[in-house]
């Protein structure tokens, strides 16, 4: 009973504060807010904005770039949410065209997904917008595999949109209204989508709690992206809010070459072997002290450590931004390795590893860059930041939703709920 009461308290806070998931018993209700998605006549074109840039290159000097506090990163450009004809922004991902080497930002919005060519940040090109499949939703997530973008949302009956990114090479008279190339409807709403690029499977998570996998994870074969094929799922550990799936190559020799799913499942971490889609097998679940909402995590590149963010521990327990590091050397017996506390009380959201750095979307504290080169000895330190939300660093759900640090050029994509797309780069 105590666990049930605690869970209900957590979910009430998530809903009241506008974070975590929509906690749908079935599917997300339609968004009936007319200001978020204003009614239009059938003959009216959709409002996709014009992609107007509000700020161009501004170096970080004396601790600021324009009105934004910073350390170690310059501002290359900002495109506000309103320039995309949207009300709020959410997820962000990127795509590098291997044929042309051009770099594109894939920008999650409440009412769709925008595509911006950011190869030349002095002359970015807003190419167009893929409208939401059904209703607007503040929760939208996108990942890339095989030159295709896969988009899910917490909108009623949204399914998974599939968009061929090579279409961005030749867009006449941008911005255009894009249509998906195909749409998978084997799911309705989903909170997040995960992809193992090694094997060509996508994993929508956070679907309806009363579906076949209880809001856990669906397996979908997208080796042919234009024809997604359902391949099973897993829900024995409850609702999965976010996850990472890797072809494991870490220190636990029992699992080398296996496809390992690590789910952030609200009140626990779930480690599952999903190699055999017909017979996924739980490896272990684990909890930690003072759980608020087990939100999202990412492996270090050697697959030894898993870096986790809890979205409600700052508000529930008064922590500064808390990042937990687990030692996954033995997947059957993972343990807490160390805990890092940031310099502000802001809530942590999504985080990604690149080499010896961890890029943390830290809501009102912007993007924080942590040095994890000596993580083995429990030494983690902040080495840079760019704060897109200058108003404050308090624990509230404004500011940076997510960050994408994987362009070879060094450009970092940042999506701010309130202020839209930022592109930043390490200062010279």
Q: What is the 3-state secondary structure (H, E, C) of 329-377?
A: CCCCCCEEEEEEECCCCCCCCCEEEECCEEEEECECCCEEEEEEEEHHH
Q: Answer yes or no: is pLDDT of 315 > 90.
A: yes
- For the chain, how many residues are written? 428
Task: Give the pLDDT of residue 22.
Answer: 54
Q: Average pLDDT, stretch 26-34?
A: 36
Q: Average pLDDT, stretch 134-146?
A: 97
C-beta of residue 281 within 8 angstroms of C-beta of residue 246: no
Distance CA 328, CA 254 (A): 12
Task: Give the pLDDT of residue 45.
Answer: 87
Domains and CATH numbers, the chain: 2-29+45-426 (2.130.10.10)
Choose between 5 and 115: higher pLDDT.
Answer: 115
Q: Average pLDDT, stretch 273-280?
A: 98
Q: Average pLDDT, stretch 147-171?
A: 98
Q: Average pLDDT, stretch 68-81?
A: 98
Pairing label, strands 125-131, 176-178:
parallel
Distance CA 238, CA 217 (A): 9
Q: Average pLDDT, stretch 67-84?
A: 98
Residue range 344-378, pLDDT digits in tens? 999 999 999 999 999 999 999 999 999 999 999 99
Positive/negative CA dihedral, 131, 21, 223, 119? positive
Task: Give the pLDDT of residue 44.
Answer: 80
Distance CA 293, CA 282 (A): 21
**Among residues 138, 191, 142, 185, which one has the least CA distance to residue 163?**
142
**Cα–Cα distance list, 24 to 15, 40, 49, 191, 239 (Å):** 10, 28, 31, 10, 10
**Among residues 234, 241, 249, 246, which one has the least CA distance to residue 269?**
241
Task: Give the pLDDT of residue 131.
Answer: 98
Distance CA 76, CA 195 (A): 29
Q: Average pLDDT, stretch 87-101?
A: 98
Q: Answer yes or no: is pLDDT of 320 > 60.
A: yes
Task: Give the pLDDT of residue 253.
Answer: 98
3-state helix, strand, coil in the chain (%, to 5): 10, 40, 50
C-beta of residue 49 within 8 angstroms of C-beta of residue 174: no
The residue with tokens 């952030």 is 264
Instruction: Label residue 292 by pLDDT band (50, 70, 90).
Output: very high
Range in 32-41, 155-164, 299-308 with the lowest mean pLDDT:
32-41
Task: Give the pLDDT of residue 41.
Answer: 52
Distance CA 166, CA 153 (A): 23
Q: Answer yes or no: is pLDDT of 186 > 50.
A: yes
Choose between 39 and 161: higher pLDDT.
Answer: 161
Task: Give the pLDDT of residue 314.
Answer: 98
Task: Give the pLDDT of residue 24.
Answer: 46
Residue 8, classed as helix, strand or coil, is helix
Instruction: Label residue 28 by pLDDT band (50, 70, 90).
Output: very low
Distance CA 91, CA 424 (A): 16
Q: Average pLDDT, stretch 262-275?
A: 98
């Amino acid at each position: 009973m105590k666990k049930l009461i605690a869970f209900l308290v957590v979910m009430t806070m998530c809903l009241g504060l506008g974070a975590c998931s929509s906690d749908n018993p079935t599917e997300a209700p339609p968004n009936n807010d007319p200001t978020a998605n204003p009614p239009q006549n059938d003959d009216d074109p959709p409002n996709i904005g014009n992609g107007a840039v509000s700020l161009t290159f501004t170096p970080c000097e004396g601790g600021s770039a324009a009105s934004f506090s910073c350390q170690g990163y310059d501002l290359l450009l900002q495109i506000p949410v309103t320039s995309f004809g949207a009300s709020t922004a959410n997820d962000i991902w990127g795509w590098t065209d291997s044929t042309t080497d051009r770099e594109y930002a894939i920008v999650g919005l409440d009412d769709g997904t925008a595509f911006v060519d950011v190869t030349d940040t002095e002359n970015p090109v807003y190419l167009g917008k893929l409208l939401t499949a059904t209703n607007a939703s503040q929760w939208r997530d996108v990942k890339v595999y095989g030159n295709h973008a896969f988009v899910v949302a917490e909108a009623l009956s949204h399914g998974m949109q599939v968009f061929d990114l090579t279409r961005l090479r030749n867009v006449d008279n941008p911005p255009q209204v894009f249509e998906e190339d195909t749409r998978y409807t084997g799911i309705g709403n989903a909170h997040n989508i995960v992809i193992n690029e090694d094997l060509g499977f996508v994993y929508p998570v956070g679907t309806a709690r009363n579906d076949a996998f209880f809001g856990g994870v669906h397996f979908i074969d997208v080796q042919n992206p234009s024809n997604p094929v359902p391949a099973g799922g897993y829900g024995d550990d409850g609702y999965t809010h976010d996850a990472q799936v890797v072809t494991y190559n870490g220190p636990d020799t029992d699992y080398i070459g296996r496809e390992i799913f690590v789910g952030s499942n609200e009140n626990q971490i779930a480690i599952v072997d999903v190699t055999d889609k017909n017979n996924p097998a739980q490896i272990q679940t684990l909890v930690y002290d003072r759980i608020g909402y087990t939100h999202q995590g990412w492996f270090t590149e050697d697959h030894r450590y898993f870096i986790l963010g809890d979205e409600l521990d700052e508000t529930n327990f008064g922590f500064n931004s808390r990042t937990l590091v687990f030692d996954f050397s033995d997947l059957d017996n993972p343990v807490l390795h160390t805990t890092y506390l940031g310099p502000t009380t802001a809530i942590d959201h999504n985080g990604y590893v690149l080499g010896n750095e961890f890029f943390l979307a830290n809501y009102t504290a912007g993007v924080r860059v942590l040095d994890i080169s000596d993580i083995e000895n429990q030494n983690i330190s902040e080495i840079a930041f760019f704060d897109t939300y200058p108003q404050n660093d308090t624990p509230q759900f404004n500011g940076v939703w997510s960050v994408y640090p994987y362009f070879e050029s060094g450009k970092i994509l940042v999506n701010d709920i309130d202020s839209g797309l930022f592109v930043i780069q390490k200062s010279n």
